[in-house]
């Protein structure tokens, strides 16, 4: 059964240059115990989608949100702020993209890691500290017992990112939304952390929506993956299907612009830029950068089933499929 | 090369005192970077890469050792003399968000180094537009504030600002790690082109070895504050000597592109 169902989500922002369409009708489902990767180019709406789920957009100022975000039969978009505060503390956790701004600079690392459970379970100071050390150890902070009482500025970029991860996990949420949680990590530590995350996930059944631009991480960690472009999901599949048989020209282009070890020849970025969101249009959003575009691409491509677990929004996906 | 190196550190040491024992963040590092060179610095998280970059930028003062920039001893320069050298080297920070003033518009942020260098307003505005275009941002972001941009867009604002004064040397701390592959490719190509056109020097800090290999001529590997191996990119990646370098290379999680395997 679906734990979270995003249904026709739209987000628009009022900006000095006009109304910016950041999310344009996203449909996505996350099941209990599932790890779903959300990938896509910078600015395509990944973080905004995450913040919409958590109800953390400036709804009273510039953001207009519509659609439904169903969490266990209840629409989160209809909830009061009081209810959301309760949910965010316990059932839903989010790791933000900027690890430093997510940490309180004047609060000790250990207190931040264990703040949630400490209040809920009324842990003694000593018990809380011991648990914080355990969590820091879990995410691979060396010498955790000595580090637990220090402040964020004394931690390196990658260490802070792991602290943020520990903070989110310590509350045993049912759903964790992790926005680029491993960007500051070197490969060795990233591999260890992903391994831990997977073990932990298998033990606790926490569902994860994992936002990343790193396709290699998706391949390593996720069960399913959704590819986002210009505020829409353009392809969705199991990890095995997506990497073996990508159907959308955008997904293929993404796979081809990744540098591989040993690469010295010039990288091939996708030509052009994604739409800026200020000029709404009706056709395929990728058409003007797509090598396979045809006149029919002026019409919006429907999201079609390739298999029961693989869907793609491209008019030409069948003829372009691998033989 | 017998030309004066652009950056030269000797026995550079930075110790952070802590109740539970001092942290030797940078432990007697000797590093030489020549003009026009792209030097990559990789290594374990917490090994001292950012601290080394910050020491060279003069944002931290060394516990011991010296740093020479173009033959000048930075640790001996007066603050005024140091300020005069400032436009010659710029840093792109790892934690971009924390160094972009959330209340300022992007236009103000990117043009700040230009205004400090005394450039007229109109010239600044034109240059900002040009810089934003270089890093693949639409001109409309100029009037927004950092909180109204995506993570990758903010990162590119940091890059645009560092490039504003056309510095001779850029210390880039994980400049592309927050970027998706396509924008990353665009920025890496831009960094390569700028270097070819202006003979720029880079100290390029990254945990992404494929990126380091793509961009850099020489590479240094750090572990626990020490520079454990330095060599040409070819040597480091094909014939790593130090066990830590070997371990680092072995754990790269790579992606098999479709078509190259099934
Ligand atoms: N508060 C805001 N006001 C106006 N525009 C915004 C705001 N927040 C985000 N945007 C815009 O919405 C679009 C989507 O942003 P979002 O942060 O979701 O991108 P993203 O997919 O997470 O990208 P990245 O990989 O760079 O983090 C971008 O064009 C961004 O500039
Ligand atoms: N202001 C400070 N006070 C105390 N310790 C510090 C301070 N700044 C850094 N350190 C410590 O120095 C060591 C090196 O940190 P640094 O930020 O240079 O690492 P790094 O190689 O950049 O790591 P990362 O890849 O995670 O960014 C770490 O152990 C860190 O905790
Ligand atoms: Mg984002
Ligand atoms: Mg660092």
pLDDT tens-digit series, residues B23-44: 999 999 999 999 999 999 999 8
**Band of pLDDT at residue B254, cut at 50, 70 and 90:** low
Q: What tens digit of pLDDT does each residue of A97-142 get?
A: 877 678 898 999 999 999 888 888 888 999 999 999 999 998 989 8
Separation CA B69–CA B79 (nearest Å): 15
Tens-binned pLDDT, residue by residue, of chain A (323 aa): 789 999 999 999 999 889 999 999 999 999 999 999 999 888 899 999 999 999 999 998 899 999 999 999 999 999 999 999 999 878 999 998 877 678 898 999 999 999 888 888 888 999 999 999 999 998 989 899 999 999 999 999 889 989 999 999 998 899 999 998 888 787 778 888 888 888 888 888 899 999 998 888 898 899 999 999 999 999 999 999 999 999 999 999 888 777 666 666 677 778 888 888 898 778 999 999 999 999 999 999 999 999 999 999 999 999 888 76
**Residue B218: strand, helix, or coil:** strand
What are the pocket residues of ligand 1 if the criterion is a CB atom closer than 6 Å to any ligand atom? A 13, 15, 20, 22, 40, 42-48, 58, 62, 97, 213, 277; B 147-153, 180
Average pLDDT over residues B233-239: 92
**Nearest C-alpha neighbor of B140 from the set A95, A19, A47:** A19
Separation CA A304–CA B2 (nearest Å): 64
Note the pLDDT of residue B256: 47
Alpha-helical (H) ranges within B57-175 are 79-85, 106-116, 121-134, 151-163
How many CB atoms are located within 10 Å of the residue A174 CB? 19
Q: What tens digit of pLDDT does each residue of B118-159 get?
A: 889 999 999 999 999 988 899 999 999 998 998 888 888 999
Q: Please determine, for residue B162, whether its predicted confidence score (pLDDT) is greater than 60.
A: yes
Separation CA A295–CA A28 (nearest Å): 29
Residue from A146, A154, A184 whose mutation best tests the ligand 2 pocket (most atoms within 8 A of CB): A154
CB A37 within 8 A of CB B166: no
> Judging by DSSP bridges, how do beta strands B7-16 and B23-33 pair with one another?
antiparallel
Q: Which residues contact A149 (CB under 8 A, 6 or more apart)?
A: A108, A109, A110, B19
CB A16 within 8 A of CB A32: no
Note the pLDDT of residue A264: 64
- Report the nearest atom of ligand 1 relative to the CA of A211: 22
The phi-psi region of residue A226 (left if phi > 0; otherwise alpha if psi is between -120 and 50; otherwise beta) is beta
Chain A residues close to B183, C-beta within 8 Å? 41-42, 269
Q: Please determine, for residue B251, whether its predicted confidence score (pLDDT) is greater than 80.
A: no
CB under 5 Å of ion ligand 4: residues: A 156-157; B 50, 94
Eight-class DSSP state of B258: B
In the reported structure, the alpha carbon of residue A223 is separated from the centroid of ligand 3 by a whole-number distance in angstroms of 21
Residue from B12, B16, B55, B203 whose mutation best tests the ligand 2 pocket (most atoms within 8 A of CB): B16
> Judging by DSSP bridges, how do beta strands A207-211 and A175-179 pair with one another?
parallel
- Look up residue B183 and give its two tokens: 């924008």
**Nearest C-alpha neighbor of A235 from the set A153, A129, A309, A144:** A309
Q: Is B138 on the interface with A (CB under 8 A)?
A: yes
- What b/e sequence results for A112-137 when a residue is b if at least 16 CB atoms lie within 10 Å of its CB, and e otherwise? bbbbbbbeeeebeeeebbebbbebbb
C-alpha distances in Å from residue A109, one per residue of A106, A150, A201? 9, 6, 24
Q: Please determine, for residue B258, whether its predicted confidence score (pLDDT) is greater than 60.
A: no
Q: What are phi and psi of A201, to 5 degrees?
A: -65, -40
Contact between chains at A183 and B181 (C-beta distance less than 8 A): no
In the reported structure, the alpha carbon of residue B186 is separated from the centroid of ligand 4 by a whole-number distance in angstroms of 23
Separation CA B176–CA B206 (nearest Å): 8
Q: Is B78 on the interface with A (CB under 8 A)?
A: no
Q: What tens digit of pLDDT does each residue of B59-86 get?
A: 899 999 999 999 999 888 888 888 888 7
Which ligand is the nearest neighbour of the Cα of A276? 1
Containing A75, the helix (H) or strand (E) segment is strand A74-75
User: Taking the alpha carbons of A3, A101, B60, B131 in that order, is the dihedral positive or negative?
Assistant: positive
Note the pLDDT of residue B259: 39
Q: What tens digit of pLDDT does each residue of B4-28 get?
A: 899 999 999 999 988 777 899 999 9
Range 17-56 of B in CB contact (< 8 A) with A: 18-21, 23, 42-46, 50
In the reported structure, the alpha carbon of residue A22 is separated from the centroid of ligand 1 by a whole-number distance in angstroms of 7
- Look up residue B7 and give its two tokens: 């950056």
In the reported structure, the alpha carbon of residue B71 is separated from the centroid of ligand 2 by a whole-number distance in angstroms of 28
What are the pocket residues of ligand 2 if the criterion is a CB atom closer than 6 Å to any ligand atom? A 153-159, 184; B 16, 23, 25, 45-51, 94, 207
Q: Is B120 on the interface with A (CB under 8 A)?
A: no
**Residue A318: strand, helix, or coil:** helix
Separation CA A312–CA A320 (nearest Å): 12
**Residue A30: strand, helix, or coil:** strand
CB under 5 Å of ion ligand 3: residues: A 47, 97; B 150-151
Q: Please determine, for residue B242, whether its predicted confidence score (pLDDT) is greater than 50.
A: yes
CA–CA min distance B71, chain A (Å): 30
Note the pLDDT of residue A263: 60
Eight-class DSSP state of A67: E
Give the global pTM. Answer: 0.89
Q: Please determine, for residue B260, whether its predicted confidence score (pLDDT) is greater than 60.
A: no
Separation CA A242–CA A33 (nearest Å): 20
Rg (CA), chain B: 19
Instruction: Give me chain A's average pLDDT, please.
Output: 90
Question: What angle separates helix A187-204 from helix A157-169, to the nearest 10 degrees?
Answer: 0
Q: Which long-range contacts (CB under 8 A, 24 or more apart) does B53-57 make?
A: B53/B91, B53/B171, B53/B173, B53/B203, B53/B205, B54/B91, B55/B9, B55/B12, B55/B14, B55/B26, B56/B7, B56/B9, B56/B89, B56/B171, B56/B203, B57/B89, B57/B91, B57/B171
- Report the nearest atom of ligand 1 relative to the CA of A41: 25
């Amino acid at each position: 059964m679906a734990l979270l169902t995003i249904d026709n989500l739209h987000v628009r922002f009022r900006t000095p240059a006009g109304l910016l369409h950041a999310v344009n009708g996203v449909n996505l489902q996350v099941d209990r115990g599932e790890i779903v990767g959300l990938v896509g180019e910078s600015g395509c709406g990944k973080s905004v989608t995450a913040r919409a789920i958590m109800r953390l957009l400036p709804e009273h100022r510039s953001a207009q949100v519509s659609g439904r975000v169903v969490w266990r039969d209840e629409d989160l978009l209809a909830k009061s702020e009081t209810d959301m505060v309760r949910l965010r503390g316990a059932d839903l956790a989010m790791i933000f993209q900027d690890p430093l701004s997510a940490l309180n600079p004047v609060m000790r690392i250990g207190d931040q890691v264990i703040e949630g459970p400490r209040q809920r379970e009324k842990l003694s100071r000593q018990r809380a500290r011991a648990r914080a050390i355990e969590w820091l150890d879990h995410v691979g902070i060396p010498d955790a017992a000595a580090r637990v009482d220090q402040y964020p500025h004394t931690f390196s970029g990658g260490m802070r990112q792991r602290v943020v991860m520990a903070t989110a996990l310590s509350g045993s949420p049912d759903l964790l939304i992790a926005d680029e949680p491993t960007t500051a990590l070197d490969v060795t530590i990233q591999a260890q952390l992903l391994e831990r995350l997977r073990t932990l996930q298998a033990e606790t059944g926490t569902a994860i929506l994992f936002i990343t631009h790193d396709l290699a991480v998706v391949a390593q960690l996720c069960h399913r993956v959704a590819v986002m472009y210009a505020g829409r999901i353009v392809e969705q599949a199991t990890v095995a299907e997506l990497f073996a048989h990508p159907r959308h020209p955008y997904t293929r282009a993404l796979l081809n612009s990744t540098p591989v070890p040993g690469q010295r020849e010039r990288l091939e970025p996708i030509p052009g830029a994604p739409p800026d969101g200020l000029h709404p249009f009706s056709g395929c959003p990728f058409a003007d950068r797509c090598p396979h575009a045809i006149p029919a691409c002026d019409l919006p491509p429907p999201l079609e089933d390739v298999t029961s677990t693989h869907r793609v929004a491209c008019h030409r996906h069948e003829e372009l499929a691998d033989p | 090369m017998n030309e004066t190196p652009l950056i030269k550190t000797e026995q550079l040491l930075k110790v952070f005192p802590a109740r539970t024992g001092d942290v030797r963040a940078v432990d007697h590092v000797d590093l030489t970077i020549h003009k026009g060179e792209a030097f990559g610095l990789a290594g374990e998280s917490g090994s001292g890469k950012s601290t080394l970059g910050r020491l060279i930028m003069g944002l931290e003062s060394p516990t011991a050792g010296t740093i020479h920039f173009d033959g000048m001893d930075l640790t001996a320069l007066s603050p005024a003399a140091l300020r005069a050298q400032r436009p010659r080297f710029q840093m792109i920070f790892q934690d971009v968000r924390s160094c972009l003033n959330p209340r300022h518009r992007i236009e103000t942020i990117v043009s700040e180094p230009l205004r400090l260098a005394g450039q007229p307003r109109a010239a600044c505005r034109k240059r900002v537009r040009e810089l934003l275009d270089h890093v693949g941002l639409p001109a409309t972001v100029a009037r927004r504030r950092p909180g109204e941009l995506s993570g990758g867009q903010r990162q590119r604002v940091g890059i645009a600002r560092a490039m504003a004064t056309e510095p001779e040397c850029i210390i880039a701390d994980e400049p592309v790690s927050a970027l998706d592959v396509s924008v990353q490719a665009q920025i890496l190509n831009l960094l390569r082109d700028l270097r070819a056109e202006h003979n720029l020097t880079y100290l390029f800090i990254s945990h992404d070895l494929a990126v380091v290999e793509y961009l850099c001529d020489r590479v240094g590997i750090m572990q626990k504050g020490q520079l454990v191996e330095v060599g040409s990119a070819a040597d480091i990646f094909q014939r790593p000597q130090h066990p830590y370098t070997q371990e680092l290379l072995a754990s790269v999680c790579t992606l098999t592109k479709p078509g190259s395997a099934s």
